[in-house]
Each structure stands twice: as C-alpha cells, then as structure tokens.
Amino acid sequence: MDIQSLPEPININLPDADLVYYPHFFSTEVSQNLMQALISHITWKHEKITIFGKKVLQPRLTAYYGNPGKPYAYSHISLDPNPWTNDLLFIKNSIEDISGHRFTSVLLNYYRDGHDSMGWHSDDEKELGINPVIGSVSFGASRKFMFKHKKDKTLKSSIMLENGSLLLMQGATQHHWQHQIPKTKKPLGARINLTFRKII
C-alpha cells in the first residue's frame, strides 16, 4: 500500500483571522500542467466594472464556474456559472478532502503579468453567509497577498502565494480583514488564482 504524505500546513497567526497555508499543495509538475490546461480551456473574460460611476476594464481576466443556479454578484456584475470542467473538479475534490468543506463555485483570476492586480476587498458577499470558507489555489508566478485589518489600522501583513499553494481563509477572517494583490514593477510571468466558495 502506498503511504501518501499529507502536505504540511502552516498556520498564519493574525488576530481575528483563521488562515492555513499549504505552500506545496500540488506538486510543481501537476501545477504546471493544470496552469496550462486552465489557460487553454477556461472561457476567460475581460469584464468592465463600474468604479465611482465610471466603466473601466478589470486589471485581470476572470471566469466563474460552479453548480448550476448559483449566480454570484460583485462590483455590479452578476455572473452565471459555467459548468464544472474535469480539471476544476480535480482541484475542487483535492481541497475538499483536506479542508473538510464542500464548495459550490469557483472564481478564477488570470493575472497576465505584474500590471494585473486586485484591489482591497473582503470576500463577504451576502450569498457566502457568515464566516465563509474560501479555498484559494494559486498557479504560476508568486504574488504578494496583502492583508489589512478593517478597524485597527496598525495591523497589516502579507504572504507570498506560491505555485501550487492552497490558502484556506475561514472563521471571522473576512469580517475583520481585507486583502489585495498589488501591482508590481517586477518582471513577472502569468499567475492563475482560483477561489473556491460555498454559495448558500
């Protein structure tokens, strides 16, 4: 019988948060294959969002997949899910096994290079319920993921999200903290991030 080694989690100790990080949840080889498959087979969109009444293109490509009938609304966009693909189901099953949570949908972000980014926000949309569990999987270039506390402005932190990593954000994290992926001038390759969510 094969003895499979379970990936080692790292607890990130921030007050009012529950964060568990698995740096090499997927092997380098599996991660490279999944990244290429996602680039080729996901229906990527370049959406316009409204900021201060102005329509602008998002600084990244996005896609939304999941169980039918679970639309997701954010930044004045309502997204209808595409049906699950085999690659997405493989990733979903892997992170469901380790987290003990079931997910209904995934939001994908494709950061083409360091100019692409995501601004400060919390994953606290109504349809995620109280204390949502977010399973965040990253492939490709490492990017800095920053946290800031909503009330205590002295509380800030950041972590590099590496190729093949899984970050579980749970408990009251979204209630108390915002996160972002800042732009960077460093020459960087592409990165894909998948945030698995449970829409209630």
The answer to whether 181 contacts ligand AKG (rule: CB under 6 A) is yes
The answer to whether 162 contacts Mn ion (rule: CB under 5 A) is no
Residue 105: both structure tokens together: 């949908």
Q: Smallest distance from the beta carbon of 180 to ligand AKG, in angstroms?
A: 8
Q: Whole-angstrom Cα distance, residue 128 to residue 66?
A: 14
CA-based nearest residue to 170, from 16, 19, 10:
19
Q: Whole-angstrom Cα distance, residue 195 to residue 56?
A: 23
CB 165 within 8 A of CB 194: no
Choosing from 21, 25, 123, 162, the residue that interacts with ligand AKG (CB under 6 A) is: 123
CB 176 within 8 A of CB 16: yes
* 3-class SS of residue 88: helix
Q: Whole-angstrom Cα distance, residue 102 to residue 92?
A: 8
* 3-class SS of residue 134: strand
Q: Whole-angstrom Cα distance, residue 113 to residue 187?
A: 7
Give the x-and-dash track for 86-125 against Mn ion (CB under 5 A).
Answer: -------------------------------------x--
Q: Which does 136 bind (CB under 5 to 8 A by kind): Mn ion, ligand AKG, none?
A: ligand AKG
The answer to whether 105 contacts ligand AKG (rule: CB under 6 A) is no
Residue nearer to ligand AKG on the CB measure, 163 or 195? 195
Q: Smallest distance from the beta carbon of 122 to Mn ion, in angstroms?
A: 7
Please list every residue from 138 through 177 that binds ligand AKG, using CB under 6 A: 138, 145, 161
Q: Smallest distance from the beta carbon of 138 to ligand AKG, in angstroms?
A: 6
Cα 169 to Cα 12, 40, 86, 179, 196, distances in angstroms: 10, 28, 24, 11, 10
Q: Smallest distance from the beta carbon of 162 to ligand AKG, in angstroms?
A: 11
Tell me which residues touch Mn ion (CB under 5 A).
123
Tell me which residues touch ligand AKG (CB under 6 A).
107, 109, 118, 123, 136, 138, 145, 161, 179, 181, 193, 195
